[in-house]
């Protein structure tokens, strides 16, 4: 334990006490190191180390101090650089963390993320809560989904402030509300299954209730209102009541009214900007349109439809071309105000984060932001069902943090920043992604969902799996994962990855081997595969238990039932495999129709795509009602 005496750090004392254990330090009047702290007017993170004395100069918020402190402590211990001076690019730099797609991270682990962010020098945390906060007047809002209580949110807010982190509510006030609109109690505010009913006074009563509660829970005036991906706006109850109206007219009318409600409460809202591009692309009838399509031309007066108190947030996680980001940032200038950029740490594509994809797409995006003078950059961490353990995203928190302070990507400095802030080994954490890439030539798009969920008898993905050495690949993956160095914080998440690698070594091509043996009439081989079906069912149960342990360590219990259903269905299917093979081998049935059926390429003539697509359609079990 390094004993430090702080001089001039009275306003930072609470935060220092929160990170002391993580840094391995203790404030003391009999110190090994004496640190004088001085706050500056300009944004800055710096230290000068001279023997057993040091000075930290920082400016632009407490997080700049904590980055300086983490760097200083590491330098003192490791006989490192005697001074450091970094000027951040962004005024807002942090992450947006998804707590709305099954997994609701426990408050104590959200606090851990705050500590890591602060020690990296990041100052913003957006808590993505579609219906994961209480609205007292709406008991079905977040019902049985693990929503955060008012007390929990107020406690998180106070904790974040001590570390120099602005905790910003990131909610939804138009689309992405399917989990609350499914209840009959909320049918009066539903246009479609996903979107609020514009023009209904009950809708704006709900908006007011939600914003009133949010204002009570968070000290910041900033608010993210969502408003993205409302593609079916006006096509449900609104259409029945009012007839057809252009989506843009409905959208802008709703945005104006909600922004005014927020303004009346003294809030400073922001929204995702994709719908402006979507609606412009629709007007231009662009074929094959994708979000933020570079072919879109925004109207010169587009800023007139964005209320004066609203900040646009440009999100994209899919492109590796800097020109794509530069072009869209230039278009955002038409809004006439600062734009925030949101990139992605890819945790939503499989059972493990896809760090390769995060890196490949984030660096050119940040390069474009630096050149455009963008003031804010956020790393989003979505999960879309939460097979992946989001705690592993900390590995690329350091990517966004270091880029802010150095203006470039460097794996060595990123690794050092992660180690200082969390004690984690960068190479070990990113090794988790090895379960995602068994397909030759694919080191970006995850295949784990397809491989885990592919049905052993129906085998909708089988034709696309031919020719891949899954056994050899996953044996190597298991060796790699066995060498990973993890802390108690990430150990449960990495254990899930290990169990999945062990499972996929046998399961990934099981359907292919089963079909081949059946077609060849090789009953001896079918008897072996019958026995193996029990082994795979046992491996699925081991993976389920490891995943369950991980889930209950990191998250509230709600949402795990979805994964019990998924694993349970797979285990039941292998029980059926054993039964079907047993009946066939015993002569009780003449054929196994599922195995006799021809296998087709899952995506037909365009099957050249990797298995990232359509994982939820590999078995009828995984229907939208369960997902």
pLDDT, tens digit, 9 for 90 and up, residues 529-588: 999 999 999 999 999 999 999 999 999 999 999 999 999 999 999 999 999 999 999 999
Confidence of residue 617 (pLDDT cuts 50, 70, 90): low
Fold for 2-86, please state it. Answer: Double Stranded RNA Binding Domain (3.30.160)
Give the integer Cα–Cα distance in Å for 563 and 561. 5
DSSP state of 31: -
Is residue 111 scored above 80 in pLDDT? yes
Please give the model's pTM, rounded to 2 decimal places: 0.95
Cα(70)–Cα(124) distance, integer angstroms: 18
Q: What is the pLDDT of residue 288?
A: 85
Distance CA 610, CA 290 (A): 19
pLDDT surpasses 50 at 487: yes
Residue 340 · residue 311 · CB < 8 Å: yes
Task: Choose which CATH entry (1.10.3720.10, 3.20.20.80, 3.40.50.150, 3.40.50.970) describes domain 92-422.
Answer: 3.20.20.80
- DSSP-derived pairing of the beta strands 44-50 and 83-86: antiparallel
* Residue tagged 């252009």 (tokens): 246
**Measured distance CA(383)–CA(95) in Å, rounded:** 14
Give the C-alpha separation, 33 to 46, whole Å. 16
In angstroms, rounded to a whole number, what is the distance separating the alpha carbons of residues 320 and 324?
Answer: 8
pLDDT in tens, 73-93: 999 999 889 999 999 999 999
Quote the CA–CA distance of 321 and 85 in Å, as a whole number: 31
Question: What b/e string do you get for 284-308 counting C-beta neighbours within 10 Å, with b at 16 or more?
Answer: eeeeebebbbeebebeeebbebbbe
CB 383 within 8 A of CB 353: no
- As a whole number, mean pLDDT of residues 12-26 equals 97
Q: Which residues have C-beta within 8 Å of that of residue 416, sequence separation ≥ 6?
A: 74
**Residue 384, pLDDT score:** 73
| Residue from 317, 324, 279 nearest 298 by CA | 279
d(CA 119, CA 74): 12
Confirm if 312 and 270 have CB atoms less than 8 A apart: yes
pLDDT at residue 40 greater than cutoff 50: yes
Mapped onto helix, strand or coil, the DSSP state of residue 243 is: coil
Mean pLDDT (the chain, rounded): 94
Percent of the chain scoring above 70 in pLDDT: 96
- Residue 617 sits at the vertex; the CA angle it makes with 612 and 618, to the nearest 5 degrees, is 80
Here the tokens at position 576 are 């059926």
CA proximity to 384, closest of 540, 559, 186 = 559
Whole-angstrom distance, CA of residue 348 vs CA of residue 199: 34
Q: What angle is formed at CA 346 by the lines to CA 425 and CA 568, rounded to 5 degrees?
A: 95
Which residues, in sequence order, are bridge partners of residue 270? 224, 311
- Using CB atoms within 10 Å of the CB of residue 493, give its burial: 0 to 12 exposed, 13 to 18 middle, 19+ buried: buried
Q: Which residue has the tokens 């899952």?
A: 602
Tokens 């052993």 map to which residue?
456
Residue 408 pLDDT: 96
Give the pLDDT of residue 601.
79
Cα–Cα distance measured from residue 196 to residue 256, given in angstroms and rounded to the nearest whole number: 15
Mean pLDDT score, 8-32: 97
Where does the pLDDT of residue 609 fall: very low under 50, low under 70, confident under 90, or very high at 90 and above?
low
Q: What percent of the chain has pLDDT over 90?
A: 89
Residue written as token pair 């704006």: 204
Residues 6+ apart with CB under 8 A from 33: 2, 3, 4, 5, 52, 53, 54, 76
The pLDDT, as a whole number, for residue 600 is 85
Which residue, among 106, 138, 112, 144, has the nearest Cα to 125 in the 3D structure?
112
Query: CA 401 to CA 122: how far, in whole Å?
Result: 6
**Which single residue is written with the structure tokens 């007066």?**
301
What class has domain 432-617? mainly alpha
Contacts with 41 (C-beta within 8 Å, 6 or more apart), sequence order = 59
| Domain residue spans of the chain | 2-86, 92-422, 432-617
CB-hemisphere CA count at 13 Å for 523? Answer: 10
Q: pLDDT tier at 444 (50, 70, 90 boundaries)?
A: confident
Report CA-CA distances (Å) from 306 to 52, 256, 275, 460, 506.
Answer: 55, 8, 11, 46, 54
CA 264 to chain centre: 32
Instruction: Please choose, from the candidates 30, 47, 29, the residue with its C-alpha nearest in 3D space to the C-alpha of residue 38.
Output: 47
- For residues 154-173, average pLDDT: 98
Q: Is 440 helix (H, G, I), strand (E, B) or coil?
A: coil
> Using 50, 70 and 90 to split pLDDT, how confident is the model at 603?
low
Gyration radius from the chain CA atoms: 26
- C-alpha atoms less than 13 angstroms from C-alpha of 478 in its C-beta half-sphere: 14
Could you tell me if 66 and 118 are in contact, meaning their C-beta atoms sit under 8 angstroms apart?
yes
Mean pLDDT of the region 395-406: 97
CA-wise closest residue to 355 among 392, 380, 385? 392
């Amino acid at each position: 334990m390094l004993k430090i005496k702080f001089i001039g750090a009275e306003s930072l004392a609470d935060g220092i006490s929160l990170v002391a254990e993580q840094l391995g330090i203790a404030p003391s009047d009999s110190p090994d190191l004496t640190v004088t702290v001085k706050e500056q007017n300009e944004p800055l993170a710096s230290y000068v180390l001279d023997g057993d004395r040091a000075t930290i100069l920082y400016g632009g918020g407490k997080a700049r101090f904590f980055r300086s402190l983490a760097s200083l402590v590491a330098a003192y211990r490791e006989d490192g650089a005697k001074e450091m001076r970094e000027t951040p690019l962004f005024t807002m730099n942090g992450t947006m963390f998804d707590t709305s797609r099954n997994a609701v991270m426990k408050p104590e682990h959200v606090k851990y993320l705050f500590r890591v962010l602060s020690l990296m020098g990041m100052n913003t945390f957006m808590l993505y809560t579609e219906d994961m906060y209480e609205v007292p007047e709406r008991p079905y809002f977040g019902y049985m989904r693990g929503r955060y209580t008012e007390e929990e949110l107020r406690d998180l807010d106070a904790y974040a402030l001590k570390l120099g982190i602005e905790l910003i509510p990131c909610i939804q006030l138009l689309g992405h509300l399917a989990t609350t609109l499914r209840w009959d109690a909320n049918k009066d505010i539903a246009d479609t299954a996903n979107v609020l009913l514009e023009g209904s006074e009950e809708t704006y009563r709900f908006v007011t209730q939600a914003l009133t509660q949010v204002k009570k829970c968070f000290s910041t005036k900033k608010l993210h209102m969502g408003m993205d991906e409302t593609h079916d706006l006006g096509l449900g109850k609104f259409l029945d009541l009012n007839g057809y109206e252009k989506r843009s007219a409905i959208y802008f009318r709703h945005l104006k009214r909600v922004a005014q409600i927020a303004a009346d409460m003294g809030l400073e809202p922001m929204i995702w900007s994709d719908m402006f591009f979507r609606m412009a692309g629709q007007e231009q009838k662009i074929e094959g349109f994708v979000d933020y399509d570079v072919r879109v031309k925004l109207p010169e007066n587009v800023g007139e439809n964005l209320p004066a108190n609203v900040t646009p947030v440009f999100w994209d996680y899919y492109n590796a071309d800097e020109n794509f980001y530069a072009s869209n940032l230039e278009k955002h200038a038409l809004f006439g105000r600062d734009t925030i950029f949101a990139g992605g740490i890819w945790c939503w594509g499989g059972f493990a984060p896809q760090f390769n994809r995060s890196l490949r797409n984030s660096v050119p995006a940040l390069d474009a932001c630096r050149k455009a003078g963008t003031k804010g950059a956020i790393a989003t961490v979505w999960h879309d069902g939460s097979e992946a353990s989001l705690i592993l995203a900390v590995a690329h928190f350091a990517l966004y943090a270091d880029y802010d302070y150095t203006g470039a990507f460097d794996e060595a400095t990123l690794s050092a920043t992660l180690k200082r802030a969390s004690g984690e080994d960068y190479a070990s954490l990113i090794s988790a992604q090895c379960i995602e890439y068994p397909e030759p030539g694919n080191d970006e798009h995850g295949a784990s969902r397809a491989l885990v969920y592919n049905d052993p008898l129906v085998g909708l993905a089988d034709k696309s799996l031919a020719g891949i050495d899954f056994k050899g690949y996953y044996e190597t993956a298991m060796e790699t994962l066995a060498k990973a160095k993890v802390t108690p914080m990430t150990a449960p998440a990495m254990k899930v990855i290990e169990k999945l690698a062990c499972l996929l070594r046998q399961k990934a091509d099981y359907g292919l081997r089963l079909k081949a043996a059946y077609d060849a009439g090789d009953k001896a081989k079918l008897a072996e595969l019958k026995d193996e079906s029990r082994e795979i069912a046992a491996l699925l149960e081991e993976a389920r238990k490891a995943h369950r342990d991980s889930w209950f360590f990191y998250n509230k219990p709600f949402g795990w039932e979805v994964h019990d259903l998924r694993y349970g269905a797979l285990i039941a299917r292998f029980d059926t495999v054993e039964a079907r093979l047993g009946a066939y081998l015993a002569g009780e049935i003449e054929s196994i129709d599922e195995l006799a059926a021809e296998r087709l390429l899952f995506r037909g003539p365009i099957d050249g795509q990797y298995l990232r697509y359509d994982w939820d359609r590999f078995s009828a079990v995984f229907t939208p009602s369960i997902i």
